[in-house]
Structure 1
Amino acid sequence: MDSCYEIDGMIPVVDPTAFVHSNAILIGDVIIGPGCYIGPAASLRGDFGRIVVQEGANVQDTCVVHGFPGVETVIGPDGHIGHGAVIHGAQIGRNVLVGMNAVVMDRAEIGESSIIGAAAFVPEGKKIPARSLAVGTPARILRELTDQEIDWKSRGTAEYQQLTRRSMASMKKVQPLTEIEANRPCYEDSSYQTLGQTK
């Protein structure tokens, strides 16, 4: 990858089964686990505290992950960090979804299988129990999630785990075409749709 940097002798670690886009930035004490997806323009700065992205998690486009000295920032297994989110010194539990442009601050703890709504702000030290839907600024717990909602989240994360494999197998830098080719195919419909929709 093009944007991986050592600092103070600390070099990022990326599992061979993880996909890190060439435009993502990894600095210092960053550990990317098996099957993870790190999207374009994501910035994971392990220049103060350690950053750990555990198995099957994804950190999408333009996300920022950082922390203070002595504080470990962890995204747990099957974690799902939506476009533009900021995770700073927080503990993101197993199977959590952090929505687009949400901010989760230092020493916050997000319990397993919770969803943090898009553009929510989780303040420093806030603890969100497992299976919670938290929304707003500052984030408040709206209710407990249903099994259907957790299943919806898990299917979305499975799509990103498949994207990891697709990206490793076929993504490459190319020049754009100058016109649309005849019979240009479309991607197949996904089983992961907006919550509440069915096929």
Structure 2
Amino acid sequence: MTQNEKIKTNRSPHATIISYNGIYPKLTDSVFLADGARIIGDVIIEQNCSIWFNAIVRGDVNSIYIGKNTNIQDNSVVHCTYQKFATHIANDVSVGHLATIHGCKIERGCLIGMGAIIMDGAIIGEESIVGAGAIVTQGVTIPPRSLVLGSPAKVMRQVSDKEYEGVIATTLRYLEYAKGYNYSLSKKDF
């Protein structure tokens, strides 16, 4: 490849992948990274995930796992807890803008609303919706298919089939959005 040749990639040249204490993040080739995304340390990100503008995934004091088809939207923070809680986000999860995910487990097919906070040791059961701005406090377990709202967050009711179709639609939309971004890089950008 000559210096002027262009290649297409799904990773912004302005995203950062950083080792911590000699541990490098592991990302599959299909992971989309937008401008300003930061991936640090002991992090595994599976196929077709997208990490959006200025989101931070910081595996410096424990490990972070992000499953297939999951999206971490703009300005969200995913972190873990020193010697206590790793963070595990399963497949097909949408984490809304400005959410904070900290030392917790989010099971398959959940939607975490914009500005929500999930604290250490919390478990969000599969196919649940955590509403915008909700705060799930330390150690709380949310049953599967729950609609969770408030601060502190409380289970309001079961998620309806129609609501869950919206969760699936969000995940599918973010898979498509990521495909729309093709960064053209020349050899000098590497």
- Do both proteins adopt the same fold according to a TM-score greater than 0.5, normalized to the shorter chain? yes
Once residues 43 and 60 of structure 1 are traced to their aligned partners in structure 2, the CA distance between those partners, rounded to angstroms, is 10
- Counterpart of 2:8 in structure 1 is none
- Counterpart of 2:105 in structure 1 is 91
Once residues 4 and 15 of structure 1 are traced to their aligned partners in structure 2, the CA distance between those partners, rounded to angstroms, is 13
Once residues 64 and 49 of structure 1 are traced to their aligned partners in structure 2, the CA distance between those partners, rounded to angstroms, is 14
- Counterpart of 2:166 in structure 1 is 152
Shift, 1:100, TM fit: 0.2
Shift, 1:87, TM fit: 0.3
Which 5+ residue runs of structure 1 have no aligned equivalent? 174-199
- Counterpart of 1:23 in structure 2 is 36
User: Taking structure 2 as the reference length, what is the TM-score of the superposition?
Assistant: 0.87
Once residues 99 and 184 of structure 2 are traced to their aligned partners in structure 1, the CA distance between those partners, rounded to angstroms, is 26
TM alignment of 1:52-63, pairs within 5 A: 52-63=65-76
- Counterpart of 2:4 in structure 1 is none
SS, match of residue 162 in structure 1: helix
What residue identity is the alignment partner of 2:71?
N
Pick aligned residue for 1:81 from 81, 87, 95:
95
- Counterpart of 2:9 in structure 1 is none
Pick aligned residue for 2:115 from 88, 93, 101:
101
Q: Deviations over 1:42-61 (max 9, x none)?
A: 01110001011100000000
- Counterpart of 1:136 in structure 2 is 150
Once residues 110 and 18 of structure 2 are traced to their aligned partners in structure 1, the CA distance between those partners, rounded to angstroms, is 28
- Counterpart of 2:10 in structure 1 is none
User: Taking structure 1 as the reference length, what is the TM-score of the superposition?
Assistant: 0.83
What residue identity is the alignment partner of 1:7?
Y
Shift, 1:26, TM fit: 0.9
SS, match of residue 60 in structure 2: strand
Once residues 156 and 6 of structure 1 are traced to their aligned partners in structure 2, the CA distance between those partners, rounded to angstroms, is 31
What residue identity is the alignment partner of 1:62?
N
TM alignment of 1:6-17, pairs within 5 A: 6-17=19-30
Q: Deviations over 1:101-127 (max 9, x none)?
A: 000000100000000000000000101
SS, match of residue 112 in structure 1: coil
What residue identity is the alignment partner of 1:133?
L
Q: Which has the higher strand share?
A: 2
The root-mean-square deviation of aligned C-alpha atoms, in Å, is 1.3
Shift, 1:161, TM fit: 1.1
Shift, 1:164, TM fit: 2.2
